[in-house]
Chain A
Amino acid sequence: MEKILSTAFIISLLESSVRMSTPILLAALGEIYTQRSGILNLGLEGIMLMGAFGGFAGAYFTGNLWIGVLVSIIVGILFSLIMAFLSVTVRANQVIAGTAMTILGGGLATFLFRMAFGIQKLPPSVEAFKSIEIPVLSKIPILGPVLFNQNALVYLALISVVVCAVVLEKTTFGLKIRAVGEHPKAADSKGINVYSIRYICVMIGGAFGGLSGAFLSIGFMNTYLDQMTAGRGFIAVAVVIFSRWNPYRALGGAFVFGFANALQLRLQTIGFPVPHQFLLALPYLLTILVLISISKKAEFPSAFTVAYNRGER
């Protein structure tokens, strides 16, 4: 018990919570755009896996982590185009389309990884992003080591929260997205192109999903592993609903999951007297609890999962 209550333990726990919440936060930020425009992208998991592979391959072959990040974003955007096509142009059922994306993304990433690197004794790896200590700020007690001694992608995610909030709340583009998600017919009659806004939003979601995957492969680990997202894409979707489509609340939601994950790891290492499988299941249980607590109150965008058809009256 003393081990749990020491300051050093708490600081390291919080620090790793922030790190572990980052992939969920990034994916959730992108999904906020997608869902606000009225589309439920359940293929996030597949997009993240593609991004994780793309980020790793980019960094491995060029030796530059930032090129890896760029590749992951491009891969995320290109792959999400399939989802955009299925949900906007084909007007397909979005749950089924998302399932297809998840199966395809996981399969394709693993396939390409195996073809590019073969099966090796030691998995190929890169030098992952290192923590950057921000001068002055990192000296603040508790908050300093927790928030200001992280790697570049964590900072990028935190900045993105503010950027997304401003874009969604304060710009005409954000207004257009909301109009399209709430009342596509009215938006259309005001001259907003419903199809292109939705395409763009799904692609923004794809860019963030790809980046989130890259965080896993070259920010958090230093290699690509099959199914390394482990359901985080779906957890991110739950966080978006929990956050009621607000980036700041998404930050809080993602942190809760990062905390559950970090706690689970710490408790395992100090030999907490509960089977570790129960601790591993904790984040998934938490997702369900979060959904229960929020779903009844959540006001989904009115046109959520409803495909828009211009010709229809």
Chain B
Amino acid sequence: MHKLGNILKEMMKGILSPFISVLLAFFVSGILLLLVGTNPLEAYSSLLNGAFGSSHRIGETIIKAIPFIILGLGISVAFKAQIWNIGADGQFTLGAIFAMIVALYLPFSNIIKMPLSFIAAFVGGACWGGIAAFLKTKFNANEVITTLMLNYIAFYLLEWLVKGPMMDPNGHGFPQTALIHENLRLPIILKGTRLHLGILLAVILIIGGYYFWKTVLGFKIEVVGQSPYVAEYSGIKVNKTIGITMCISAGLAGLAGWTEVFGLHYRLLENISGGYGNLAIVVALLAGLNPFGIIISAFFFAALVVGGNSMQRMVGVPFSLVDVIQGLVIIFIISRVIYTRWREQNHGKNTVNSIYYKLIRKFSKDEYADSTCSTR
């Protein structure tokens, strides 16, 4: 019974602090809205209505959550190893391009093309991320900047492809590729919405992600993240692990591109990644890099994006408010440490830690205990 209580308490702690960060972000954005003369309650209620107002809208929200879940999972893998992969956008794009090449140009039957395009998407993303990993391990080039620059390069590569070599010959000059064959499309699982089977894939990947951290490789990645020196000393090949981590992270981003093309658009369009990469970072951070948390935070941000679009239409509040909320969420998440630190220092009487140290001080006379108290 006692143990169950502890678990519940831990879970509450896991949910409560991101929840407070989100609440604060909404609060500050609300003040911002007031300052520019908009009623925040009106804006937020139109946001809520836009995301959940009808079964179609709920479907749209779930659809948006699919790429966020997969991208967030990918980002979380890299971030656990303290590799700052900011390039999910580009990896997503390359995954979509690779998959599309398989679907449109390779002379196989659809039964072979389906799994092959899936693999190609993973490989496409992994290659793009692999470049950054190679440059990091070989030349010590900062991966934040390289992955970001690769985003821009991927963006222009896609633009060139859909306006040039991959443009739909029967598309009247629209910058897009031909549609993929109907048998290749992910089936819609809920009538009246566009919700496709990709959601199942997302959930499977999340469960896989949960078990991945229990494997030897998952453990190695975590150790590299916590301390590359410790990892080196314990015989983990750090550079190899960085490469593998980056390829998994980027490969997952590529898979997100696959679901978006095969489940939703059925073709390549300009700027298909639509800035999801940045959002995925916020998704992963809000979830504390926890696989199951990612599902919740991906749904939350999907609702924010879908609702934000309708908020712009209905109340005239610019969609960029959603970006503001995202930025604030991260800021409040990383600032909450200061709150705990402040509590430990000033109001220490109430925290578990200080009670523990008080007990030590009371029951032992040795100086060591005292010195531990003072450094706290």
> Which A residues are within 8 Å of any B CB, using their own CB?
42, 46, 82, 85-86, 89-93, 95-108, 110-112, 114-115, 226, 230-231, 234-235, 237-238, 241, 275, 277-278, 280-281, 284-285, 287-288, 291-292, 295-296, 298, 311
Contact = CB atoms under 8 A, between A and B. Distances in A.
Nearest to A116: B36
A296 B22 CA distance: 40
A107 B149 contact: no
Nearest to A111: B320
B159 interface: yes
B86 A277 contact: no
Given A97-B330, A99-B281, A107-B327, 9 more contacts: A97-B331, A99-B330, A108-B323, A111-B321, A226-B320, A234-B145, A238-B142, A287-B149, A292-B135
Contact of A288 (B146, B159, B282, B285): B146
B331 A100 contact: yes
B320 A277 contact: no
8 contacts: A85-B335, A90-B334, A95-B144, A102-B327, A111-B318, A115-B38, A234-B145, A277-B163
B211 interface: no
A281 B144 contact: no
Contact of A104 (B150, B153, B328): B328
A248 to B, nearest CB: 22
Interface string B301-328: 0000000000000000010111111111
B215 interface: no
Interface of B: 32, 36, 38, 84, 86, 135, 139-142, 144-146, 148-150, 152-153, 156-157, 159-160, 163-164, 278, 281-282, 285, 318, 320-328, 330-331, 334-335, 337-338, 375
Please classify the interface of chain A as helix (H, G, I), strand (E, B), loop, or mixed, using the class held by over half of its residues: helix
A296 B331 CA distance: 32
Contact of B142 (A102, A275, A295): A295
A81 B140 CA distance: 30
Given A92-B334, A277-B160, A115 B152 contact: no
Nearest to B132: A288
Contacts of B164: 275
Contacts, number: 140
A108 B324 CA distance: 6
A90 B318 contact: no
Contacts of B285: 96
Contacts of B321: 107, 111
A46 B326 CA distance: 13
B141 A295 contact: yes
B320 A114 contact: yes
Q: List the 9 closest pairs (A to B, CB-CB), nearest first.
A: A107-B323, A104-B327, A100-B330, A114-B318, A277-B160, A110-B320, A92-B334, A277-B156, A103-B327
B149 A90 contact: no
A226 B163 CA distance: 24
B157 A277 contact: yes
A285 B327 contact: no
Contact of B86 (A85, A99, A230): A99
A288 B141 contact: yes
Contact of A241 (B142, B156, B157, B375): B142
B253 to A, nearest CB: 16
A312 to B, nearest CB: 9
Given A99-B330, A108-B327, A295 B338 contact: no
Contacts of B36: 112, 115
B152 A100 contact: no
A234 B330 CA distance: 20
